[in-house]
């Protein structure tokens, strides 16, 4: 595939107002107008290039949005204060009371809770399906369905959505395909594979330093204008706007995303291969044993690898907790939710990030008690990390000593 997302980021040139190599930060919530007429026209949406109020847009936010649109290959983008602050207004903008969404059943816990518990208050209902089963998806589509919603690499089970296939189903039924690409920035380019809208939590890999929250909706100019409309735009009226200082810092971190993703992927593949060889139940899209391995391969921008996320199943929640605490004591990473940090992060999704999903549904989707989700960090010496992790597993009886 010839899509080069990191080149597209690199090719954008922004200068500060005094020739700074970084764009100036727009440290203002409101903006002056030279004439009262221009202010009126701007509120009416008839003037381009003027700023009115930072909940609507700001120069710093536009710079970051344009860089993310370039990365995803969409017309434009709109940044938000958090990932959920991008996802929920986008869904509410596209759906009205009486509409229906077909969603993957293995999505981020917050998105799942929004669709299951919150959106029905507005008459928007959802069916949750196995996103790797095209028949189940087609059967779930109803006359009032508007959207197919999935994650390219799902949380936490790392299922791979076949985006070209989903796009075909969406197109032939007149639906929009929305893809949350938080787990696989650069590796997968959903818009180039047929997605209509690409969403991210910037809080994770894209910012990469676990110091900031952020989100983005990448899509058509029409959608983004609708989201920002002063009269009926969900982003404008619900108000999850990103702060300019944060937009500027995320843009600077975006500059190194391609280097970081390559290292996350390299380290994760190394550990996944070792864990699997040790006999641990390991899920990583880069392993040929992963059911979505070939699908990922067919879609990926090869140089970025299969991403930094992997899971192992150590049999029980007690063992999982014991192992995570020991690994943290040995400074192999942190027992924390979230992902995309320089340091390895691990958590047991059943009791943390997916706890919004009822227990019996967790079972149905294959989310077991002993599952540990790893976001593999940027370790320089992953071999040493592996040896130390293996030692932890031997000490608490997950691995037999003979392996060492
Ligand atoms: C974290 C996450 C979100 C939500 O993003 P926030 O920045 O926490 O609001 C959405 N989708 C996925 C896949 C995530 O991992």
pLDDT tens-digit readout, 159-207: 999 999 999 999 999 999 999 999 999 999 999 999 999 999 999 999 9
Q: Is the pLDDT assigned to residue 1 strictly greater than 60?
A: no
Angle formed at CA 294 by CA 261 and CA 373, multiple of 5 degrees = 50
Q: Which atom of ligand 1 is nearest to the CA of 203?
A: 7
Nearest-CA residue for atom 1 of ligand 1: 201
Distance (Å) from CA 347 to ligand 1 centroid: 15
Taking only the tens place, the pLDDT of each residue in 314-324 is 999 999 999 99
Taking only the tens place, the pLDDT of each residue in 206-265 is 999 999 999 999 999 999 999 999 999 999 999 999 999 999 999 999 999 999 999 999
Question: How much is the pLDDT for 154?
Answer: 94
User: 3-state class of 89 per DSSP?
Assistant: helix
Ligand 1 pocket, residue 78 CB under 6 Å? no
Distance (Å) from CA 326 to ligand 1 centroid: 27
Omega prior to 349 cis, within 30 of 0: no
Q: How confident is the model at residue 47 (pLDDT cuts 50, 70, 90)?
A: confident
Question: Which of 43-52, 96-105, 195-204 bottoms out in mean pLDDT, i.e. has the lowest?
Answer: 43-52
**Rounded mean pLDDT, 28-40:** 89
Distance (Å) from CA 320 to ligand 1 centroid: 23
Ligand 1 pocket, residue 152 CB under 6 Å? no
Question: How much is the pLDDT for 2?
Answer: 73
**Rounded mean pLDDT, 286-312:** 98
Taking only the tens place, the pLDDT of each residue in 131-151 is 999 999 999 999 999 999 999
What does residue 283 show for φ and ψ, rounded to 5 degrees?
-115, 120
Question: How much is the pLDDT for 265?
Answer: 98
Yes or no: domain 258-403 corresponds to CATH 3.40.718.10: no
Q: Is the pLDDT assigned to residue 353 strictly greater than 90?
A: no
Q: Is the pLDDT assigned to residue 49 strictly greater than 80?
A: no
Taking only the tens place, the pLDDT of each residue in 323-349 is 999 999 999 999 999 999 999 999 998
Distance (Å) from CA 353 to ligand 1 centroid: 10
Q: Which residues partner with 217 through β-bridges?
A: 78, 199
Q: How confident is the model at residue 79 (pLDDT cuts 50, 70, 90)?
A: very high
User: 3-state class of 55 per DSSP?
Assistant: coil
Ligand 1 pocket, residue 72 CB under 6 Å? no
Q: What percent of the chain has pLDDT over 90?
A: 86
Q: Strand 215-219 and strand 76-80: pairing?
A: antiparallel
Ligand 1 pocket, residue 217 CB under 6 Å? no
Q: Which atom of ligand 1 is nearest to the CA of 213?
A: 7
Ligand 1 pocket, residue 340 CB under 6 Å? no
Instruction: Note the CATH number of domain 5-254.
Output: 3.40.640.10
Taking only the tens place, the pLDDT of each residue in 53-73 is 999 999 999 999 999 999 999
Q: Is the pLDDT assigned to residue 44 strictly greater than 90?
A: no
| Cα gap 57→241, rounded to integer Å | 8
Q: Strand 345-347 and strand 371-375: pairing?
A: antiparallel
Distance (Å) from CA 42 to ligand 1 centroid: 33
Taking only the tens place, the pLDDT of each residue in 392-401 is 999 999 998 6
Q: How confident is the model at residue 381 (pLDDT cuts 50, 70, 90)?
A: very high
Give CA separation, 251 vs 23, 58, 70, 254, 267, in Å: 10, 14, 13, 5, 25
Per DSSP (E only), the strands in 64-210 are 76-80, 100-104, 125-129, 145-151, 176-180, 197-201
HSE, CB side, 13 Å, CA atoms: give it for residue 295: 22
Mutation pick for ligand 1 pocket among 68, 178, 182 (CB with most ligand atoms within 8 Å): 182
Distance (Å) from CA 106 to ligand 1 centroid: 13
| Cα gap 212→191, rounded to integer Å | 26
Question: How much is the pLDDT for 110?
Answer: 96
pTM: 0.95
Q: For the chain, what is the mean pLDDT? A: 94
Burial 212-243 (b: 16+ CB within 10 A, else e): bbbbbbbbeeebbebbbbeeebbbbbbebbbb
Q: How confident is the model at residue 402 (pLDDT cuts 50, 70, 90)?
A: low
| Cα gap 393→374, rounded to integer Å | 15
Q: How confident is the model at residue 363 (pLDDT cuts 50, 70, 90)?
A: confident
Q: How confident is the model at residue 403 (pLDDT cuts 50, 70, 90)?
A: low
Q: What percent of the chain has pLDDT over 70?
A: 99
Ligand 1 pocket, residue 349 CB under 6 Å? no
Q: Where are the domains of the chain?
A: 5-254, 258-403
């Amino acid at each position: 595939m010839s899509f080069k997302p990191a080149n597209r980021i690199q090719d954008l040139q922004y200068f500060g107002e005094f020739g700074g190599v970084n764009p100036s930060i727009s440290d203002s919530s409101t903006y002056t107008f030279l004439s009262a007429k221009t202010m009126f026209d701007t509120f009416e949406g008839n003037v381009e290039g003027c700023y009115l109020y930072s909940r609507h847009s700001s120069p710093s936010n536009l710079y970051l949005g344009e860089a993310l649109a370039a990365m995803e290959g969409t017309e434009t983008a709109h940044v938000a204060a958090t990932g959920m602050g991008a996802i929920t207004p986008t869904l509410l903008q596209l759906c009205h009371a009486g509409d229906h969404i077909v969603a993957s059943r293995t999505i981020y816990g917050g998105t799942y809770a929004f669709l299951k518990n919150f959106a029905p208050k507005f008459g928007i209902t959802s069916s949750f399906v196995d996103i790797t089963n095209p028949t189940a998806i087609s059967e779930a589509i109803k006359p009032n369905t508007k959207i197919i919603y999935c994650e390219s690499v799902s949380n936490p089970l790392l299922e791979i959505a076949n985006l070209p296939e989903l796009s075909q189903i969406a197109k032939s039924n007149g639906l929009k395909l929305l893809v949350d690409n938080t787990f696989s920035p650069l590796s997968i380019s959903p818009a180039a594979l047929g997605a209509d809208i690409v969403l991210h939590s910037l809080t994770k890999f894209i910012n990469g330093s676990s110091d900031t929250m952020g989100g983005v909706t990448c899509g058509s100019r029409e959608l983004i204008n609708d989201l920002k409309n002063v009269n009926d735009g969900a982003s404008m009226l619900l108000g999850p706007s990103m702060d300019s200082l944060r937009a500027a810092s995320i843009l600077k971190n975006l500059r190194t995303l391609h280097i970081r993703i390559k290292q996350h992927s390299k380290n994760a593949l190394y550990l996944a291969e070792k864990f699997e060889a040790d006999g641990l139940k390991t899920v990583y899209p880069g392993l040929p044993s992963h059911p979505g391995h070939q699908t990922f391969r067919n879609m990926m921008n090869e140089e970025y690898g299969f991403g930094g996320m992997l899971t192992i199943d150590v049999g029980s929640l007690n063992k999982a907790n014991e192992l995570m605490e020991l690994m943290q004591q040995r400074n192999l990473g942190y027992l924390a939710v979230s992902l995309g940090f320089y340091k390895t992060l691990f958590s047991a999704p059943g009791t943390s990030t997916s706890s919004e999903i009822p227990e019996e549904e967790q079972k149905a989707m294959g989310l077991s008690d002993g599952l540990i989700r790893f976001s593999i960090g940027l370790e320089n010496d992953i071999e040493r990390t592996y040896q130390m992790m293996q030692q932890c597993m031997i000490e608490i009886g997950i691995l037999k000593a003979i392996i060492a």
